[in-house]
Copies of this chain bind each other. A is one copy, B any other.
Amino acid sequence: MAMASGSGCSASSTTCSRRPATNAYFPLLIPESFLHKEAQHVEGFAPEAAVVTHGGGKKLDEPLIIRPTSETIIYTMFAKWVQSYRDLPILMNQWANVVRWEMRTRLFLRTTEFLWQEGHTAHVTHDEAEEEARRMLGVYRDFMEGWIAMPVVTGQKTDSERFAGALRTYSCEAMMQDNKALQAGTSHNLGQNFSRAFDLKFQSESGSTEFAWNTSWGVSTRMVGGMVMTHGDDVGLRVPPLLAPIELVIVPIYRSDVERSLVLEAAERVRHSLCEWDRRESSRLRVHIDARDGMKPGAKYYEWELRGIPLRLEIGPRDLANNQGVLVRRDTREKRPVSLDVLGEDVSETLSRMQRDMLAVALERREANSVRERISYDRFRQFMDAEGGFVYSGWCGDPACEAQIEDDTKATIRCLPDEEFRSAEAPTTCLRCDRAATSEAMWAKSY
Contact = CB atoms under 8 A, between A and B. Distances in A.
B8 A285 contact: yes
Interface stretch (A9-17, A128-136, A409-417): A9-17
A291 B14 contact: yes
A271 B48 CA distance: 50
Nearest to A64: B50
Contact of A9 (B27, B46, B286): B286
A8 B55 contact: no
A49 interface: yes
B47 A54 contact: no
A376 interface: no
B55 A101 contact: yes
Contacts of A117: none
Contacts of A96: 97
A264 interface: yes
B11 A287 contact: yes
Contact of A53 (B27, B54, B264, B282): B54
A29 B14 contact: no
How extensive is the interface on chain A, given as a class? Answer: 35 or more
Contact of A99 (B10, B12, B25, B29): B29
Given A14-B289, A47-B56, A28 B97 contact: yes
A115 B288 contact: no
Contacts of A115: 25
Number of copies: 2
A283 interface: yes
Contacts of A64: 50
Interface string A31-47: 00000000000000011
A279 B7 contact: yes
A101 B29 contact: no
B271 A11 contact: yes
Nearest to A268: B14
Contacts of A264: 14
A57 interface: yes
A66 interface: yes
A51 B47 contact: no
Contacts of A57: 46-47, 49, 101
A274 interface: yes
A52 interface: yes
A139 interface: no
A432 to B, nearest CB: 33
7 contacts: A9-B278, A12-B246, A27-B113, A48-B56, A50-B56, A56-B102, A57-B101
Interface of A: 5, 7-12, 14, 25, 27-29, 46-57, 63-64, 66, 96-97, 99, 101-103, 112-113, 115, 246, 264, 267-268, 271, 274-275, 278-279, 282-289, 291
